[in-house]
Amino acid sequence: QQQVKQSPQSLIVQKGGISIINCAYENTAFDYFPWYQQFPGKGPALLIAIRPDVSEKKEGRFTISFNKSAKQFSLHIMDSQPGDSATYFCAASVGSNTGKLIFGQGTTLQVKP
C-alpha cells in the first residue's frame, strides 16, 4: 500500500513534443506529491509538487494533473527540449513527515533534437 507505481520506464520524444509520465498510488493518506528531476551523476532536484486538494498545477512548461478518485497523477512536459533529457521521479508522502517520501521507479526521458 506504500508503493508508488510509475510508467513508462523510458520515454523518447521529439523536440517540441509533449512528454507524459504517469504515477499511481494506493495509500489514500498521501497528501503531498512532488516530482523530481535528476541528471546523470547528480542528486534529484524538486521540479514541481501538488497537494490533493487541487486537480492541476502548472509551472512554465511543466504541469501536474491529479486525479484523486483514480489515485493517479501525471507530469506533462510541454514543448519538450533536449535539455529536459533526464530521469524523472514521482513521489508521495503523508502527514507530518515529508522525509518519508515514497518514490516511483523513475522514467528516463530522452528528447531528440
Partner 1 sequence: DGGITQSPKYLFRKEGQNVTLSCEQNLNHDAMYWYRQDPGQGLRLIYYSQIVNDFQKGDIAEGYSVSREKKESFPLTVTSAQKNPTAFYLCASSRGSSSGNTIYFGEGSWLTVV
Residues 49-78 that bind partner 1 (CB under 8 A): 49, 51
Of 42, 43, 64, nearest to 55 by C-alpha is 64
Minimum distance of partner 1 from residue 78's CB (angstroms):
23
Is the distance from CB of 25 to CB of 3 less than 8 angstroms? yes
Give the three cell numbers for residue 28.
Answer: 489514500
How far is 29 from 23, CA to CA, in rounded Å? 16
CB 65 to partner 1: min, Å: 19
Give 77 or 106: the residue with its C-beta nearer to partner 1: 106
Binding positions for partner 1, rule: CB under 8 A: 4, 6, 9, 31-32, 34, 36, 41-46, 49, 51, 89, 91, 93-101, 103-106
